[in-house]
Structure 1
Amino acid sequence: MSLRRYAFPGTNTLCEKMGIRPVSIGRQTMHGMEGVHWRRTLPFYQMVILLRGENFYETSLTRERVLAAPAAFFTFPGIWHRYGTYKGKSARTFYFRFDGNIPRRYYDDHLLNPSQPVIVIRNAARIETLCNDVWHALGRPNDRYMEYASQGILQILQELLIQHGPVLSRTEDREITHIVRMMRKQIGELYFDFRTYCTANNVGFENMRKIFKQRTGYPPQQYFLRMKLAAAKEQLLSTDHSIKSIARAVGFTDQYYFSRLFKQHENMSPAYYRNECAGQNDDEGR
């Protein structure tokens, strides 16, 4: 496998304010049985742009599928994934790893959906130009590597979303966005009362429940639970708070119930997740 990459250790105040903190950017060509053939979990977002050839791709939420270029796919914090090339196949890709307020907001607004992580690229020339622009900017001497990377990742991300272009009812889209924001405000509660919300906002319960699942990939309560677990995972990796404290912060008064539920959904305990994912930064270079 041919791989070149730029890594961005540490934090950058301007990038944090811009909403995208780059972790690493790589350009690689894979041949045969190369890539990530094991189940890997990363603590940040990853955007992979497939420009030539084909990749297989699988996550804990999606079945294995083969993608032909041009295409893009995303991996999400705390959700295991596999991707790479099969025997006799090759692929050329860029990957971009990042976190920050913008990807989290796009996730909350269901623009980035772990159940629908693949985007078919309609204008490959435009995407490839943006990828190369970022790559060449990083190759020139300057003291703003992270800022250029942050700007470039955002441009590529937004261009992909524009090309993907789902046609949404504005009323329904606003309603679902409002529901998700209300869920986030109530992240410290054990339960989100979706029926009461619909009654208070004069929205049909069954119809909105159906639309919510279509847009997000999950029924409301399951989405709320995944939101709580995502918040817990973020705290496990970014703070030294005790598991008991984190459980309470996301609405679970019983630490042991929280740990059992976490393990049921993530196939590992909170303590193991903290130790395992904290060490998975960028050393595998894929």
Structure 2
Amino acid sequence: MTGGNIKKPEGFMKEKLYVLPDYWMKELEQEGLTSSLYITDIGYFPKAEYHFRERPEGSPAHIFIFCEAGEGWVELNQGERMILREGDMIVIPPDTHHRYGAMPENPWSIYWFHFKGEHATRLVHLFGLSATPLTLSPSGIARFIEWFHPAYELLAERTYALTTHVHVAQTARQLLSGIGINSNKSAQEKKRENYLEQAIQYMNQHMGGSIRLTELSRHVGLSQQHLIHLFNLETGVPPIEYFLRLKIQRAGQLLDLTELSIKEISSAVGISDPYYFSRLFKKMSGFSPSHYRNIPKG
């Protein structure tokens, strides 16, 4: 890993280590297919006894660490020490004072990589990967290991090829987003997700009619204010607008898959006025219902 101090300069038995040459760094920063995200360093340290790093100025890249076995620790901005055990991972933000190392009694084995790019910070925050440990599921661990070895071999053996860096960058993006979607959620996050699923299921069951915010919040068991906050947080829109979007989505399916008239489709999604339905459909989809139906698809 670039920069910092180490308490075992001779490295680790069977370690893997690749550092992107400076000339490639400049190339990837300017290449359209990699400027948004690319790997700068990647490696594997098995049973990394005495492993230690400290970077008072932080790293210019995000640092992804996955603890395959054993135990280690991470401190950010001289804050509380976070323990990483088997199956845990963390992403250390760039330009952040940090220290980390192996536990002396049971030193960790870690896979790690550094990544940069215009989308790196947004990707990490969007998928909830920033600065706190997450525990990967068994399938998540398997997917990570499956990604790591080919990515490392490509970078170490074919670093001269732009196609190598593009491919590894694209698969790294998929890896990070997949970890974010499938990582173990907190009890609070699971509860929030359950409320949302209940509300959307209720909407789908009442697609042919109308619902009020009062009855939806009563069904879910949340206050109206809390329900609005939940939908804004998770979907970006309040509940009733989300319900309208579901109606327009269902209407689009009916336009594509049936011979129903626009008036019949309007009625099927619980909008009694077909003229209002047509205006709403065009506002949300960008096309009138008849124009949308005539667009070739598939």
Q: TM-score, normalised by structure 1?
A: 0.52
Q: Which residue of 1 aligns with 2:112?
A: 95
Q: Which residue of 2 aligns with 1:69?
A: 86
Q: Which residue of 1 aligns with 2:181?
A: 162
Any conservation in 1 of the 2:55–2:97 contact (CA below 8 Å)? no
Q: Which residue of 2 aligns with 1:11?
A: 27
Offset at 1:146? 2.0
- In structure 2, do the counterparts of structure 1 residues 108 and 125 end up closer, same or farther at CA, with 3 Å as the change threshold? closer
Unaligned runs of 5+ in 1: 173-202, 213-286
Q: Which residue of 2 aligns with 1:85?
A: 102
C-alpha distance in 1, partners of 2:125/2:46?
Answer: 33
Q: Which residue of 2 aligns with 1:54?
A: 71
Bigger proportion of residues as strand: 1
Unaligned runs of 5+ in 2: 1-10, 197-223, 234-298
Structure with greater Cα Rg: 2
C-alpha distance in 1, partners of 2:54/2:46?
Answer: 15
- In structure 2, do the counterparts of structure 1 residues 61 and 161 end up closer, same or farther at CA, with 3 Å as the change threshold? farther
CA deviations over 1:105-132 (Å, ceiling 9, x no partner):
2245362333x34344442222211111
Offset at 1:28? 2.0
Amino acid at match of 2:183: H
Any conservation in 2 of the 1:96–1:153 contact (CA below 8 Å)? no
CA deviations over 1:73-101 (Å, ceiling 9, x no partner):
11001222211113243222221111223
C-alpha distance in 2, partners of 1:7/1:130?
Answer: 18
C-alpha distance in 2, partners of 1:62/1:119?
Answer: 21
C-alpha distance in 2, partners of 1:129/1:84?
Answer: 25
C-alpha distance in 2, partners of 1:129/1:99?
Answer: 22
**Within-5 A mapping of 1:236-255:** none
Q: Which residue of 2 aligns with 1:35?
A: 52
- In structure 2, do the counterparts of structure 1 residues 170 and 31 end up closer, same or farther at CA, with 3 Å as the change threshold? closer
Any conservation in 2 of the 1:48–1:93 contact (CA below 8 Å)? yes
> Percent sequence identity over matched residues?
14
Offset at 1:45? 0.9
Offset at 1:25? 1.4
Amino acid at match of 1:53: G
- In structure 2, do the counterparts of structure 1 residues 61 and 208 end up closer, same or farther at CA, with 3 Å as the change threshold? farther
Any conservation in 2 of the 1:51–1:128 contact (CA below 8 Å)? no
Asked which structure has the greater RCO (Cα within 8 Å, sep 6+), the reply is: 1
C-alpha distance in 2, partners of 1:37/1:69?
Answer: 22
Any conservation in 2 of the 1:122–1:163 contact (CA below 8 Å)? no
CA deviations over 1:222-252 (Å, ceiling 9, x no partner):
xxxxxxxxxxxxxxxxxxxxxxxxxxxxxxx
Any conservation in 2 of the 1:40–1:82 contact (CA below 8 Å)? no
C-alpha distance in 2, partners of 1:99/1:40?
Answer: 16
- In structure 2, do the counterparts of structure 1 residues 129 and 107 end up closer, same or farther at CA, with 3 Å as the change threshold? closer
**Within-5 A mapping of 1:108-257:** 108-109=125-126, 111-114=128-131, 116-123=132-139, 124-141=141-158, 143-144=161-162, 145-164=164-183, 166=185, 167=190, 168-169=192-193
